[in-house]
Structure 1
Amino acid sequence: MTALHPTIAAVTARIIARSTHSRAAYLAQIRAARSAPPARAHLSCGNLAHGFAACGFQDKATLKAAHAPNLGIITAYNDMLSAHQPFEHYPELIRDAARAMGATAQVAGGVPAMCDGVTQGRAGMELSLFSRDVIAQATAVGLSHDMFDAAVYLGVCDKIVPGLLIGALSFGHLPAVFIPAGPMPSGIPNKEKAAVRERYAAGSASRAELLAAEAASYHSPGTCTFYGTANSNQVLLEAMGLQLPGTSFIAPGTELRAALTGASTQRALQLVAAGEDYRPIGELVNEHAIVNAIVALMATGGSTNHTIHWIAVARAAGIVLDWQDMDAISAVVPTLAHVYPNGQADVNHFAAAGGTQLVFGELLRAGLMHADITTIAPGGMGDYTREPRLDGQRLHWVEGAVTSADTSVVRPVAAPFEPQGGLRLLDGNLGQALIKLSAVKPEHRSVTAPAVVVDNPAALGALHAAGALPQDFIAVVRFQGPQANGMPELHSLAPLLGMLQNQGRKVALVTDGRLSGASGKIPAAIHVTPEAARGGALARLHDGDVISVDGNNGQLHVHVDPAELDARPLARDTTPAGQSLGRNLFALNRAVVGRADQGALSIHAGPLLADGAPWPFGEVYPASAG
């Protein structure tokens, strides 16, 4: 076995040390929740009768007998989201697969699934980040009936998978298997789509042209094919061993996809406490698995959103992960994939060139991933270098690619696209932030220019239309953090800034908001912490202040005398109040939400203290904990 890289070993060790008490408390709580199987045997007759009242004769007889496992299905199905529309018929496939094993399966509950692609630039984006926490709570509600011995989770996109994970970890004594839907077929080339967007931003393409390009990109059931948050979710789930190997990018509506759904069901039922291979999710998601996920994120140039989401996921398992850990991992993990927005290929091209099997194999052989984690697959991480095949009715796994079929898309560790990973931590007198380097050309990674300060993303477009933007500038878009307005994604700025950069102008973005997982090209210091609404330095900036965004050296600095900066009054958000459109329902979330670098949680995730109070994640832990 290859020795683990010393930096990966050191980061893992410090996460374990930092999490000692909270992880022990979490494990104690989930182990206490485990009861003699099956779970429903402990219900009263009235409870149980309610639980199977709607079932057919066969399932009702099985549930009455209380000797076989019952599988809960948590689904994010809706037929507006292309990525989730294929889930419509999964419950019946899962029920059939469970019956074939003498077991049962029931839809335990549904969770909301909103699409950032629909809400970009709209008021609904202010609900987006908080939807993750609602999904976690809805997952817990679905599992609360104590009817289930394991669960399968149907979700793909943005906040949905992190929310499902957080909810699943709150029932960490139950085995869990995630089942994806797969990507849609490739549409028009990404370069062509981006060009139409930028021409539209410049006023040289019509709305009809833009809509035709977008409709040719997003055109059928399945996940959008760029490497944004949805597809990053799938890679990270495999890196943690929570999906069957090689299942992420199998197209929906195929026989192989259906066979894998059945196999996922069977595997979930094999992992229950009544069997001989009990593998609860709370024990699988340990510090090693979390590190594997971050390694995979960096190696593939994945979504910036996961610098928030995986901190929250880790906390749900009693693990304290931070941006410094991510930065240290990124410094030693090479970039092995170029998938849009980091390159021109999409995830279908990525899978054809070698996909996760090739990337994981390279990382394992280089000692950059933990090979010893327990996964839902019997053979651990070694199984994740294999890919599924269907020969007639026989589903089996074969060894995946060991060499790239297209080195413009996937490369080996020995000849990477870059020696470091896709993300970098920025630090300076404006706070801490993150920058995605994998999609930014080297000549654009460091920009020093005067600030153009706005409190509303739309104001930047208005300044451009008025010809009021300087030749070179750094757009400071503030009051976009979790507490201000729910931290919406600002992907709608990308076409404008990309067009200006194409003109030879030096531009960058500094914001306490988020960018889409599909964003790139422009150097962007995002998730700035502390945010402006919490009195961060962004609230003291003026137009014309010279700012440096230096991705090469990890610096975010405003060139203003410290005494002068401190003496300036804090600005107030000037954005006019808009229509509620549901935002009023999330006022409490905005009031209590944590910082971006702590997962931007508006709920408590993780263990509780003995008196039922939330665990105080931070530098100081209770002496009696654990």
Structure 2
Amino acid sequence: MPVTEKIAGLTEKIIERSRPSRQRYLDRIEKARETAPRRARLGCANLAHGFAACGPGDKAMLRDAACGNLAIVTAYNDMLSAHQPFERFPDIIREAAREAGATAQVAGGVPAMCDGVTQGEAGMELSLFSRDVIALSTAVALSHQMFDAAVYLGVCDKIVPGLVIGALTFGHLPSVFIPAGPMTSGLANDEKSHIRQLHAEGKVGREALLEAESQSYHGPGTCTFYGTANSNQMLMEIMGLHLPGTTFVNPNTGLRDAITRASTKRALAITATGNEYTPIGRIVDERSVMNGVVGLLATGGSTNHTIHLIAMAAAAGIHLTWEDMAELSALVPLLTRIYPNGKADVNHFHAAGGMGFLIRELLGAGLLHQDVRTVWGTGLEGYLVEPRLAADGLAWTEAVKESGDEAILRGCADPFDRTGGIAVLAGDLGRAVIKCSAVPKDRHVIEAPARVFHSQEELQRAFKSGELSGDVVAVVRFQGPKANGMPELHKLMPPLGVLQDRGHRVALVTDGRMSGASGKVPAAIHVTPEAAEGGAIAKICDGDMIRLDAVSGLLEVLVDAAEWASRAPVTADLGANDFGVGRELFTPFRSQVNRADEGATIFRVQ
């Protein structure tokens, strides 16, 4: 079914806005295209260095330069549960490549930090910038020009966006992203959240909290709630960069290994030396970016992608804006209830019909562009299948046409909400993003006095001492990219959730981030301009009445206009953010980063 007139019109607007930069990008990747392996033109010493450590068989194939050679760019480490399964993948990929008459080499590794470990710690101030470091590391890995295609091993928050930006910089190379899959289900997410709140109130101790967290995050694979990591994986499939139906298969299973082998062979099938040349720079276009935003909205995905998708699109010469997302949000229904927007986890979503059912529904409603290019070699209609393990390898069967559990996954005819899970707010405090899908309807409009903090630690101390109570809009500022790298502020949610549960009208306004797990408290995040740039958030005083209206898309301060105009933004001593845990190395990033609504990146659309 063709897209609706409104979706087509918005896509065309992005195409027109992006036309000059997109054409420059396409010209660059066309110039870089090689119909024969680029390594064949390397000097003899260069090429010898490139295959010196290979075994005799691989070395012979690389020496002749007739076979395909696949780059493996991996974010493996064994501290991240989501990335630990990647330890085995290079051997599987090399074996599958040899079966296809080709070779594969680990071209390089990229850093992969765990936001779950660094939450509330100084290391979180490196988190957002790690995305751009990953993009740079990907460029270093591929700079040897030994490769005809690439596969990317990454899952979590900043890692996949960084890999995508790096891959698009080498947009002439075919690229397949290979997921690792979610861990099996552990402690129910609502129970975990409940114990966190009890701990915030001092009603349970550290041992009980640690036991609950350990039961929730208990094995290899992605955390099972629907935060940024799993939003990443949804995006890679709906944008055509995964093989269909492969996103949420658990790790260390026969099916997962078969998917890895199939992904490898598919990457080698679409190189420039064959008849199905499909470079990533042609897959990621304005239509696939729109599909990604639609998927994000329909699933109530991570608010981090209101930053990441802009930066990813920019790497392909495409200008995506918050206004585009806001317009789409009014058109796209909410089709899932996955924690924190419900009790289910991604394993339950997958069992209920998963990506195949979701894509079928969105295509049928004219909300997705079917006529896109994908690594599978079809349009998006080719993604209405799911893999099964057969005696001779993988077999694809038709995806289900009916949801297996309508408490988790629904069709467009009976959605959980008629609009998307993410909205954009604007007003005299600037512009911000809010994730509405997990917030009760009676909390979509909050009007309450401000209480201003310059760190989440300050807010926690105020809560523990009993100073923070009653109706309140907590304003946590100097948390933007220029101030301290824009860390996620999840330590705020338990105390604010307690206040809300006590019956108070509570909201958060911050120039920091809250990611996909922001929860049930209404939170206007990514406020821009940020306080460190003199944004209006730096003018708020304790007691100012703040109105957060997710229904009308407003973020306002209810202060006399003359008084508001006369106020000067406050400043803050940010010196404590400049050193320790490697933060001194990121001073150039803090000075060069652009605004949240521009992608919060050091890179620019070329």
The alignment's TM-score, normalised by the length of structure 2, stands at 0.99
Aligned residues: 605
Structure 1 unaligned regions, length at least 5: 607-614, 616-626
- Structure 1 residue 574, shift from structure 2 partner: 4.8
What is the CA–CA distance in structure 1 between the aligned matches of 2:532 and 2:523, rounded to whole Å?
A: 20
Q: Secondary structure at the match of 1:19?
A: helix
Q: How does 1:530-569 map to 2 (within 5 A)?
A: 530-569=529-568
Q: How does 1:304-315 map to 2 (within 5 A)?
A: 304-315=303-314
What is the CA–CA distance in structure 2 between the aligned matches of 1:36 and 1:505, rounded to whole Å?
A: 65
What is the CA–CA distance in structure 1 between the aligned matches of 2:585 and 2:322, rounded to whole Å?
A: 30
Q: 1:220 maps to what in 2?
A: 219
Q: How does 1:94-243 map to 2 (within 5 A)?
A: 94-243=93-242
Q: 2:340 maps to what in 1?
A: 341
Q: For residue 597 of structure 2, what is the amino acid of its counterpart?
A: D
What is the CA–CA distance in structure 1 between the aligned matches of 2:342 and 2:422, rounded to whole Å?
A: 15
Per-residue CA shift, 1:59-112, capped at 9, x if unaligned?
000000110110000000000000000000100100000011111000000000
Q: 1:382 maps to what in 2?
A: 381
Q: For residue 184 of structure 1, what is the amino acid of its counterpart?
A: M
Is 2:591 the partner of 1:585? Answer: no
Q: 1:598 maps to what in 2?
A: 598
What is the CA–CA distance in structure 2 between the aligned matches of 1:389 and 1:577, rounded to whole Å?
A: 53
Q: 2:360 maps to what in 1?
A: 361
Per-residue CA shift, 1:256-288, capped at 9, x if unaligned?
100000000000000000000000000110000
What is the CA–CA distance in structure 2 between the aligned matches of 1:7 and 1:595, rounded to whole Å?
A: 28
Which stretch shows the higher mean deviation, 563-572 or 548-557?
563-572
Q: Secondary structure at the match of 2:446?
A: strand
Q: Which runs of 4+ in 1 moved over 4 A?
A: none
- Structure 1 residue 383, shift from structure 2 partner: 1.6
Which stretch shows the higher mean deviation, 393-402 or 323-332?
393-402
Q: How does 1:29-108 map to 2 (within 5 A)?
A: 29-108=28-107
Is 2:491 the partner of 1:492? Answer: yes
Q: For residue 570 of structure 1, what is the amino acid of its counterpart?
A: P
Is 2:524 the partner of 1:525? Answer: yes
Q: Secondary structure at the match of 2:516?
A: coil
1:7–1:328: 8 Å Cα contact kept in structure 2?
no
What is the CA–CA distance in structure 1 between the aligned matches of 2:561 and 2:104, rounded to whole Å?
A: 62
What is the CA–CA distance in structure 1 between the aligned matches of 2:569 and 2:280, rounded to whole Å?
A: 45
What is the CA–CA distance in structure 1 between the aligned matches of 2:137 and 2:355, rounded to whole Å?
A: 30
What is the CA–CA distance in structure 2 between the aligned matches of 1:272 and 1:373, rounded to whole Å?
A: 18
Q: 1:448 maps to what in 2?
A: 447
Q: For residue 138 of structure 2, what is the amino acid of its counterpart?
A: T
What is the CA–CA distance in structure 2 between the aligned matches of 1:534 and 1:451, rounded to whole Å?
A: 21
Q: 1:620 maps to what in 2?
A: none
What is the CA–CA distance in structure 2 between the aligned matches of 1:562 and 1:64, rounded to whole Å?
A: 73
Which stretch shows the higher mean deviation, 488-497 or 463-472?
463-472
Structure 2 unaligned regions, length at least 5: none
Per-residue CA shift, 1:452-495, capped at 9, x if unaligned?
00111111111112221241000000000000000000011111
2:545–2:557: 8 Å Cα contact kept in structure 1?
yes
2:484–2:574: 8 Å Cα contact kept in structure 1?
no
Q: For residue 229 of structure 1, what is the amino acid of its counterpart?
A: T
Per-residue CA shift, 1:320-377, capped at 9, x if unaligned?
0000000111111000000000000000000000111111000000000001001011
What is the CA–CA distance in structure 2 between the aligned matches of 1:476 and 1:581, rounded to whole Å?
A: 26
1:455–1:574: 8 Å Cα contact kept in structure 2?
no
Is 2:247 the partner of 1:276? Answer: no
Q: How does 1:402-417 map to 2 (within 5 A)?
A: 402-417=401-416
Q: Secondary structure at the match of 1:451?
A: strand
Q: 2:253 maps to what in 1?
A: 254
What is the CA–CA distance in structure 2 between the aligned matches of 1:499 and 1:5, rounded to whole Å?
A: 43
- Structure 1 residue 393, shift from structure 2 partner: 2.7
What is the CA–CA distance in structure 2 between the aligned matches of 1:440 and 1:33, rounded to whole Å?
A: 47
1:455–1:575: 8 Å Cα contact kept in structure 2?
no
What is the CA–CA distance in structure 1 between the aligned matches of 2:247 and 2:359, rounded to whole Å?
A: 13
- Structure 1 residue 569, shift from structure 2 partner: 2.1
Q: 2:400 maps to what in 1?
A: 401
% identical aligned pairs: 59
Q: Secondary structure at the match of 1:211?
A: helix
Q: For residue 274 of structure 1, what is the amino acid of its counterpart?
A: T
What is the CA–CA distance in structure 1 between the aligned matches of 2:267 and 2:573, rounded to whole Å?
A: 51
Q: Secondary structure at the match of 2:67?
A: coil
